[in-house]
Amino acid sequence: MRKMLTAAAAAVALSFVGSLAAQAQGVQISVTHWGSQLYGLPYAVAMEKGFFKEAGIEVSGVLTSKGGGTTVRNVFASDFPYGEVALPAAVAAAAEGFDLRIIHAGTVAHSNIWMTKLDSPIKTVNDIKGRRIGFTSPRSVSQTTMFMILDKLGLKRDEVTLVSTGAIGAGFTALESGGVDATLASEPQASMYAGKYRIAFAAADILPPVTQTVGVTTPEFLKKEPKKLAALIAGRAKAVEWSYANLEEAGKILSKAYGLDEKIAISAVRNMAATKFWGRGDMDVAPMNEMIKGLKLVDAIKGDPDWNKLIDRSLLPADLRS
């Protein structure tokens, strides 16, 4: 009998220790292009500065992918189904039958930049007629953005040759070999290549604001864990505010989280902050619709999303709900 009690006590103790370990470990979330593009800055800052913990949730790590539908699938497969994903991927997933909710906006300005050689005749976006311009892949955000730029300039599709180069790194290889006259970049790539190449034009200087990424979850998880999700949103929002007020320190945090050279990370943060890239989470439908217009240009979507169904503002801080 005593042995049985001892075994039972040991089991309870192990269960308790396991529970404490799980609490200490925290949750893992998904963020598109974590480690390679700057969508993840607020999460890096919130983890480093303790803003998530202060809001009521422990975040132990970030899962990532190359973006698109992969990030959305990661969210649905996770034990903690939350992630910041590309708005086009969220809309496409909803159209394919994934039942999801957009619970906050993420980045709210164009991140796409096109770089060219130092001696290139492309001085501004007005010089792209008759040139070969690189983008990543068909129906990508970069192709969408280029189509929007062409429309803005009043150029026909056949007046500029758009070249799919694949990954951003491959685009620079194509630029160096003469396969394209300008190629897609973003940050931190623009800061990495400063001096070797120069910026030809940036989408944020040409087009209206656009929602690039959004935070998503499932309706079931929203009902099950509203406090944890609200804490994530609040921690991220505080990190955005703090980052704009402390750009150099935010760059140092990004450097640590991404394994970037510190000077490059600080430059990248400063450059994206100038475009007001990161939003606190409030959801304005107008810049979301700008993205939808672009998606229609590349035949990536038909019809308009039902924002009333997809958007749930209930977890936003009170000042961001309107």
pLDDT at 20 over 50: no
pLDDT at 180 over 70: yes
Helices 262-273 and 226-245 pack at an angle, to 10 degrees, of: 100
Report how far Cα 130 is from the mean position of its chain's Cα atoms. 32
pLDDT (0 to 100) of residue 140: 84
pLDDT at 161 over 50: yes
Rounded to the nearest 5 percent, the helix, strand and coil shares of the chain are: 50, 15, 35
pLDDT at 69 over 70: no
pLDDT at 115 over 70: yes
pLDDT at 179 over 60: yes
Q: Give the CATH superfamily of 2-109+210-320.
A: Periplasmic binding protein-like II (3.40.190.10)
Q: Where are the domains of the chain?
A: 2-109+210-320, 113-205
- 3-class DSSP state of 303: coil
Q: Looking at the domain that runs over 113-205, which CATH code has it been given?
A: 3.40.190.10
Segment 229-273, tens digit of pLDDT: 999 999 999 999 999 999 999 999 999 999 999 999 999 999 999
Fold equal for 2-109+210-320 and 113-205: yes
The Cα 184–Cα 194 span in angstroms is 14
Here the tokens at position 55 are 């809001």
Please name every residue paired with 135 in a beta bridge, in sequence order, or none if there are none.
Answer: 164
Strands (E) in the chain, as ranges, are 27-31, 59-63, 82-86, 101-105, 113-117, 132-135, 161-164, 183-185, 197-202, 213-217
State the residue for tokens 């990954």.
167
Strands (E) in 87-175, as ranges, are 101-105, 113-117, 132-135, 161-164
What values do phi and psi take at 233, rounded to 5?
-65, -45
pLDDT (0 to 100) of residue 65: 67
pLDDT (0 to 100) of residue 10: 44
Candidates 260, 321, 307; CA nearest to 36 is 260
pLDDT (0 to 100) of residue 21: 40
The share of the chain scoring above pLDDT 70, in percent, equals: 91
Q: Residues 56, 228: contact at Cβ < 8 Å?
A: yes
- Helix intervals (H) in 96-225: 141-153, 168-177, 189-192, 219-224
Q: Residues 161, 94: contact at Cβ < 8 Å?
A: no
139 conformational bin, left if phi > 0, alpha if psi -120 to 50, beta if neither: left
The share of the chain scoring above pLDDT 90, in percent, equals: 80
Q: How far is CA 260 from CA 67, 101, 254, in A?
A: 20, 33, 7
Q: Residues 52, 231: contact at Cβ < 8 Å?
A: yes
State the residue for tokens 């994903």.
85
User: What's the pTM value of the predicted model, to 2 decimals?
Assistant: 0.88
Segment 123-138, tens digit of pLDDT: 999 999 999 999 998 8
Segment 291-319, tens digit of pLDDT: 999 999 988 888 899 999 999 999 999 99
pLDDT at 5 over 90: no
